[in-house]
Amino acid sequence: MPEQRSAEPARAPRVGAWVALDAPIATEQIARAGFDYVCVDGQHGVIGYDAQVRALLAVAAGGAEPWARVSTNSAAEIGRVLDAGARGVIVPLIDTAAEARAAAEAARYPTSGGRRSYGPMRLGPHFGATPEETDASVTVLAMIETASGLAELDSILDVEGVDGVYVGPYDLSLALGARVPFEDAIVPRLDAELDRIAAACRERGKIAGVHCADGEQAARRIEQGFTMVTAATDVSSLRADMQRQLAAATGSRLGAARAY
């Protein structure tokens, strides 16, 4: 596997956006807003592979770094989103070091100790002159969102080729015992675990990523030590702004969103 990159966490924290809708023009505009990266959600969004390709092209056209979350820890799926132009991959539901190692190997070619199949469909700026050069520009984050993954945090971070972790706080709060995400009773423990995750990443010079509900929460996570924060999601941002505009037009405090 390639040598671990330790420079990333020393840079200013990276702030990104998240897209879950098959709307390439909107995705391009989000990428033009100034975010460092835009991640295309292939797990919980309504985006299949064809739509992922369109979205990754739109992100690149907008000038942000294209990322993708795959739906599962599958070598085939990881390879396909990289072939489509993703520079970073977020792999969900990582419970063990062995699973993290499989994800890292799926994202790198055999010349770097991985098992990614060579198929440069989009041969261009995100492909190096050699497979090893391409591997050097790929970032792999293991999602920490389960009790098992949390317990195995240190061993997951120590896997060669894993560049850091990305916390899914909704699932993690449920894994910690909440009945609904971010239940008040669980928030102190969740914050303590987030502190621990950020510290473990910092000790190893790896990326500490986290999904955030909004920009205010993202700012708090940066203060907490996270170096890669997703500050906005297309669906929630669209809904929130539409409600704000409706409230402004009608003079009401909040627009009442329909539940269908």
Phi, psi for 40 (deg, rounded to 5): -95, 120
The residues annotated as belonging to the active site are 44
Cα(211)–Cα(220) distance, integer angstroms: 12
- Nearest to 91, CA basis, from 179, 21, 162: 162
